[in-house]
Amino acid sequence: MEIGLGLPVSDPVRLLEWARLAEEHQFATVALLDRLAYDNPEPLTALAVLAGATSRIRLQTEVLLGPLRSTALLAKQVATLDRMSEGRFVLGIGIGGREDDHAAAGVPIAERGRLLDTQLTDLRTIWRGEPYRAALAGQPRHLPEPNDAAAGGPGRNAQSSDVVGEEPHRGGRPGDESAGDSAPVARLGDVVGGDSALVARLGGVVGGDSAPVARLGDVVGGDSSRNAQPGGVVGESHRGGRPGDDERGSVGRGGRDDEQRGSWAGGSGAWIGPRTVKAGGPPILIGGFAPAALRRVARFADGFICAAPLDWAGGLVRTVEEQWAEAGRDGRPRLVCQINVAVGDAEMIARGRQAVADYYAFTGRPGWGAPLTDPVRIAETVAVYREFGADELVMYCYGDDPRQIEILADIVR
């Protein structure tokens, strides 16, 4: 069983020292948690910095809150980190459950599971090198034909401001198509052309309000020389080829032009690089407790992050392994478990306890997540997880003193 370290988030500057010492003391992984409405560093950015300060140790999110992020941008960020770390990055991902994070991102918390399912599928698509384009809620990943919109098809009834997996709903109440139309108009401003038929199609998307359609006409310019290239709504990336190159971006170009990576890839989407170290992207671990979260492991991932205490982790792991076998997956899912620890002198331990208490205050449950502090008990717990069958145990240190690393290394040797 490998041993990793979860890094404290209270002082981002000290993370470099933590990562270097963790590698020096032969820990397998450094991991960072993810919050939005909290005083912590953004984990992908921080891990990119740590990748440059280390050469061997794995870099892991545990877990990244996927639904709070744009899928296309997340795919690009992860692929960049994967390449620059030479394949050392592991994407631990989940939905989160804190209202303030979702409110800050503008993502409906009730939609987070559905958004993550879509996102995980799309991430793999992007990392396989296939073209991608974000979809508007209620619509397929292409615009309806003009006669579909005129007949009251999906183009007329979609809530244009609700972008699946990409941006939050900003259009007021569900079904209120006229509310908040400035956001979709801004996005639809990337439509290439000014074709009156296309504008008519898009009228349904923004709710049929003549004002936004008129503004859309101003944005696309009405240039007759560009009318042959409607191309659809730009979702995540530039779809017009190089500036001034009217040949690129015409309807019907599919796939990716290796000589012009990242340029127009046709109505089906655009290629988003860089390429990952392995086709299909880095390893994915799913974290969570609910049945839907457990099902995602077999459907989308390479392993399971089990943060549950041992007294009820067994049932979760059995469920994941049964579903893995039922799905016809080879071998068994990687199992990464977690414990919270705080070691050192009395002051170091007190700071660690307080940091854990602050982090879990939202639960309203005093003592929730309290760290192990006794070296003997930590060693015994490590042995139990080894017997349990964990592939890796990540010990989270909430106190920010890096002297804990040497103490923990001595405990687990």
- For residue 413, the model assigns a pLDDT of 87
Region label for 279, one of left (φ > 0), alpha (ψ between -120 and 50) or beta (otherwise): beta
Q: What is the DSSP letter of 344?
A: S
Residue 266 maps to a domain: no
Q: How many structural domains are present in the chain?
A: 2
Q: What is the mean pLDDT of residues 64-92?
A: 98
The CA-based angle 116-117-119, given to 5 degrees, is 60
The fraction of the chain above a pLDDT of 70, given in percent, is 68
- Measure the CA–CA gap between 95 and 290, rounded to whole angstroms: 11
Looking at the structure, do residues 86 and 176 belong to the same domain, yes or no? no
Local confidence band at 267 (pLDDT 50, 70, 90 cut-offs): low
pLDDT of 41 higher than 80: yes
- For residue 135, the model assigns a pLDDT of 78
Looking at the structure, do residues 158 and 226 belong to the same domain, yes or no? yes
Local confidence band at 314 (pLDDT 50, 70, 90 cut-offs): very high
> What integer best gives the mean pLDDT of the chain?
77
Q: What is the mean pLDDT of residues 192-215?
A: 38
Local confidence band at 206 (pLDDT 50, 70, 90 cut-offs): very low
- For residue 207, the model assigns a pLDDT of 39
Looking at the structure, do residues 59 and 121 belong to the same domain, yes or no? yes
Looking at the structure, do residues 103 and 154 belong to the same domain, yes or no? no
- Measure the CA–CA gap between 367 and 360, rounded to whole angstroms: 9
- Measure the CA–CA gap between 270 and 263, rounded to whole angstroms: 7
Looking at the structure, do residues 173 and 111 belong to the same domain, yes or no? no
Q: What is the DSSP letter of 14?
A: G
- The enclosing domain of 373 has a CATH number of 3.20.20.30
Residue 265 maps to a domain: no
Looking at the structure, do residues 158 and 72 belong to the same domain, yes or no? no
Looking at the structure, do residues 92 and 150 belong to the same domain, yes or no? no
Considering the entire predicted model, what is its pTM?
0.72
Looking at the structure, do residues 123 and 162 belong to the same domain, yes or no? no
pLDDT of 401 higher than 90: yes
Residue 267 maps to a domain: no
Q: What is the extent of the structural domain holding 387?
A: 2-129+275-412
Q: Count of alpha carbons within 13 Å of 46, Cβ hemisphere only?
A: 25
Looking at the structure, do residues 121 and 210 belong to the same domain, yes or no? no
Looking at the structure, do residues 256 and 279 belong to the same domain, yes or no? no
Residue 134 maps to a domain: no
Backbone angles phi, psi at 337, to 5 degrees: -110, 165
Cβ atoms within 10 Å of 169's Cβ, excluding its own? 18
pLDDT of 252 higher than 60: no
Looking at the structure, do residues 77 and 190 belong to the same domain, yes or no? no
Give residue 343's Cα distance to chain centre. Answer: 32
For 136-171, how does the pLDDT look when each residue is reduced to its tens digit (9 = 90+)? 654 444 333 333 333 333 333 333 223 223 333 333
- Measure the CA–CA gap between 4 and 29, rounded to whole angstroms: 4
